[in-house]
A and B are shown apart, each in its own frame.
Chain A
Amino acid sequence: MEIFGIPSALLGSQLLIGLINGSFYAILSLGLAIIFGLLNIINFAHGAQYMMGAFIAWLALTKFGINYWVALIATPIIVGAFGVLLERTMLRKLYKLDHLYGLLLTFGIALIIEGIFRDQFGISGQSYDVPELLSGGVNLGFMFLPIYRGWIIVAALTVCFGTWFMIERTKLGAYLRAGTENSQMVQALGINVPLLITFTYGYGVALAAFAGVLAAPVFQVNPLMGSHLIIVVFAVVVIGGMGSIMGSIVTGLGLGLIEGLTKVFYPEASSVIVFVIMVIVLLVRPAGLFGKA
């Protein structure tokens, strides 16, 4: 079976990879957007925290025999707690200053984390076995679907929509949205805004770590895995605009798919296509697809 002269199996598998990358873009840009909304800082350490997630899961499995499912729950909590610590000890001191200092501080933190992991584990990748329950694959007729890859998409979308639901439909989410609009007013109404900020940062970081654990079995676990990804995610954020939660999810998935298609039709451009789209969006709609000017 062929579509546009391309074998459907090839097209299908590239679209699947695109969808998987898109799932990671979606979770990571969602975390960035939530943090930016309330803290007004862009978390440059997001990639490093994603890498920490993957590494902690790998360490847990190889050193302590802790399985994937436990790691999937525990790792985001551990890394999220680390994020809470960062917010309480460092980020907190910067809220009154120019927002750019937050970017610079988290950049420094990213360098520290990456440097330490590189020193400990080198730059060669470590492999993480797919959990038994999700190994193997199914034949969909037009292509072969490894079950784990399907699981990534399901898990990522569940977490993204869960987060969307929490923010748009619950009381806590209402506080958060109110805090994004006017944190002083919310504070005056008796909500503990500093605690809300700490929680938000911790949650955003935990999302990054969750993505890291999901990624461990498909990508090589390696200290630099986050730094390249985060720059692409920045471009995704510029394209989508950080104004809307759903916007982050849709933009992330969409760009993943476009990247997958580029790999089929014009592979040379696949590493730059997201940046090219960013340039076009900036020319046509500078505020981003879902952004407020």
Chain B
Amino acid sequence: MRPTTLASQSAVLNPAVLYTVLLVLGLLAPFTLYPTFLMKVLCFALFASAFNLLLGFAGLLSFGHAAFLGSAGYVCGLMVRDLGVTPEVGILAGTVVAGLMGWVFGSLAIRRTGIYFAMITLALAQMVYFLVLQIKATGGEDGLQGVPRGHLFGIVDLSDNMAMYYTVYAVFCLGFFIIYRTIHSPFGQILKAIRENEPRAISLGYDVDKFKLLAFVISAALSGTAGATKTLVFQLASLSDVHWHMSGEVVLMTLLGGLGTILGPAVGGATIVTIQNQLADSVGSWVTVIMGAIFVVCVLLFRRGIVGEIQALLKRAGMQ
């Protein structure tokens, strides 16, 4: 009675079927839902998935991922607005800068483990926040405004919401595919080994620090992709994207959706964005309280998250 064989008999659990259904749903979604909302969901889903690569699969809690999201947003915004480059170059530039920052942050943070790792990333991100606040080019408190969406490859006009949506969707799918491939590669397996038992991974001859650093760089770069794309969608890079609240939010999205599951962070991201959109007008500052309460409930009672719980339920159903 191997649960895996049983699971593969169930159509819902067959990954190929599941991902095809999701892919089609993503293509059809803007016909029923507001595209700008969907684009926001996709950006945060990618951000959370990138974050999960680090926390869920390498076991490293970064509390500074807002720095990558936000900085890439500013880089992309400045390049598109002031240098007049095309949107895809802007996104690429944001990704590269975030990846480089990830390399610097990662090299420093992996010198310590556990709680110190989290505190170091948080402190480094706070430094980035202050720099962004003080540098003139970033517009300080006002953020970077009036970023044009431009023409993709110089041809497709992205000021059309549908064109923008499918661009964002393509970026998301590409990013998600990279994360999926990373997790299912030998590299991903070694990350899991490090997460489960670091001394043992070292004794097996793996250069643990190198693997952690590479995971950190990939995660940071893809967070940057999400941030740069978000800047194009909203035509704005704001200070709140580099604020530590954002670093906390991505942790929450990942935790709520399901730590270490592949689809969990995307589900968590969509859920949090929806909650925030629904509540922002009606409850004002209570949004923070509600986010905090979700955090507490997740940690105390719901550690597997939405997708984790569903997987556990299906597994139990398959066993019977």
Task: Give A residues with C-beta under 8 Å from B.
Answer: 36, 41-42, 90, 93-94, 97, 99-101, 103-105, 107-116, 118-119, 227, 231-232, 234-235, 237-238, 268, 271-272, 274-276, 278-279, 282-283, 286-287
Contacts and interface: CB of A to CB of B under 8 A. Distances in A.
A235 B63 CA distance: 13
Interface string B138-179: 000000000000000000000000000000000000000000
A99 B115 CA distance: 7
B292 A115 contact: yes
Contacts of A104: 251, 255, 295, 298-299
A107 B61 CA distance: 13
Contact of B123 (A116, A268, A275): A275
A276 B299 contact: no
A135 B291 CA distance: 42
A286 B112 contact: yes
B284 interface: yes
A93 B123 CA distance: 28
A279 to B, nearest CB: 6
Contacts of A274: 123
A246 B314 CA distance: 53
B16 interface: no
15 contacts: A100-B61, A103-B63, A105-B300, A107-B295, A109-B292, A111-B288, A111-B289, A111-B291, A112-B289, A114-B288, A115-B287, A235-B126, A275-B123, A282-B108, A283-B108
B114 A99 contact: yes
B123 A112 contact: no
A139 B90 CA distance: 58
Q: Is the interface of A mostly helix, strand, loop or mixed?
A: helix
A103 B118 contact: yes
A41 B118 CA distance: 12
Nearest to B248: A107
Contacts of A118: 285, 288
A99 B61 CA distance: 11
Contacts of B127: 272, 275-276
Contacts of A93: 300
Contacts of A103: 61, 63, 115, 118
B303 interface: yes
Q: What range describes how many residues of B lie at the interface?
A: 35 or more
Contact of B131 (A116, A272, A282): A272
Contacts of A235: 119, 123, 126
A245 B286 CA distance: 38
B187 interface: no
A105 to B, nearest CB: 4
Given A114-B288, A114-B292, A119-B284, 13 more contacts: A94-B299, A94-B300, A103-B61, A107-B295, A108-B293, A108-B296, A115-B290, A118-B288, A119-B285, A119-B286, A238-B120, A268-B134, A271-B134
B37 interface: no
A234 B115 CA distance: 10
A36 B115 CA distance: 10
B126 A231 contact: yes
Contacts of A90: 296, 300
Given A111-B291, A112-B289, A231 B115 contact: no
Contacts of B201: none
B111 interface: yes
B40 to A, nearest CB: 21
Contacts of A271: 130, 134
B130 A272 contact: yes
Contacts of B134: 268, 271
A252 to B, nearest CB: 15
A218 B114 CA distance: 35
Contacts of A100: 61, 114-115, 118
A52 to B, nearest CB: 14
B211 interface: no
B124 interface: yes
Nearest to A120: B285
A105 B114 contact: no
A124 B302 CA distance: 36
Interface string B274-318: 000000000011111111111110111001000000000000000
Contacts of A115: 285-292
A248 to B, nearest CB: 14
Contacts of B63: 103
